[in-house]
Structure 1
């Protein structure tokens, strides 16, 4: 049996816009998911902020850490399209899909590694932006006690950072 046949056998759930599939930090139910229709966004708390990490589009698997080690959810997932149709993959279904379709395991492993790199890069960028912001604030404090020309240089620096698009 191929991957398409395995996916066709999954139990389905339908969610509406704004519904939370799961929240970061809550115990997992040991299930991962496959998105058939709709769009979901992944949010994670980083440096005290609720940060959008990426979107999940139709054809993607997610939540695999719950299958592997039943760990708490590492992020929150919310429906952003009008609705979403998801297939539920529990541990026994996962094992069966892996046996019936080795292609499934390869695709899943490949995507997990890609997401790990993407997430790591995004977290580093967010932390760097926060660190840069702290450096600017520190410079502003120092410049307030300096002369007027030095103060103007600080303002130009602020404009540079404010004009950059925020990292979601």
Structure 2
């Protein structure tokens, strides 16, 4: 069985514009996700502000840290399209997908490494801009295209109903 067939078996969640899938710092439910349709934005609390890090587009996995170590969510995820269709991957699904479609692990690892580089670079640019502002230098805002959204002000959507217990 291939990756497409494995993804087709996932439990699905549909979110509407403005709905929050999860918030930064909340305990993880041990699930990661795959975006089938729509667009989500990732926000992180940096230097006292909710800052958009990037968008999640169809075909992307996200939330994988929850599968690996069940740590609190590292960022907030907000739906920005009219709706978003999301597949839920719990630990059992993750193991099955890994066995049935070994290319899944390679794609996931590749993307995680790319994201680490992207996020690190973006955070450094934000901090550099802040340091420049303190010293009086004029620099372009590295997050100039980021809308001012506070994920904490938007109610979080519970997806626990569609996430089978992965223990």
Provide the TM-score with structure 2 as the length reference.
Answer: 0.84
Unmatched tracts of structure 2, length 5 or more: 147-167
Residues 1-168 of structure 1: matches in 2 within 5 Å? 1-136=1-136, 160-161=138-139, 164-167=140-143, 168=146
Structure with greater proportional helix content: 1
* Distance (whole Å) between structure 2 residues aligned to residue 11 and residue 122 of structure 1: 33
| Structure number with larger C-alpha Rg | 1
For residue 166 of structure 1, report the CA deviation from its aligned partner.
4.7
By relative contact order (CA 8 Å, sep 6+), the higher-ranking structure is 2
For residue 121 of structure 1, report the CA deviation from its aligned partner.
0.2
1:35-90 CA distance string (max 9 Å, x none): 00000000001111110000000000000000000000000000000000000000
Asked if the contact 2:122/2:142 (under 8 Å) is kept, the reply is no
SS of residue paired to 2:59: coil
Q: Following superposition, which runs of at least 4 residues in structure 1 exceed 4 angstroms of deviation?
A: none
SS of residue paired to 1:36: strand
SS of residue paired to 1:81: coil
**Paired positions, count:** 144
Provide the TM-score with structure 1 as the length reference.
Answer: 0.84
* Distance (whole Å) between structure 2 residues aligned to residue 94 and residue 13 of structure 1: 17
* Distance (whole Å) between structure 2 residues aligned to residue 37 and residue 29 of structure 1: 22
- What's the RMSD between the two structures over aligned residues? 1.0
1:88-145 CA distance string (max 9 Å, x none): 0000100110011110000000000000000000000000000000011xxxxxxxxx
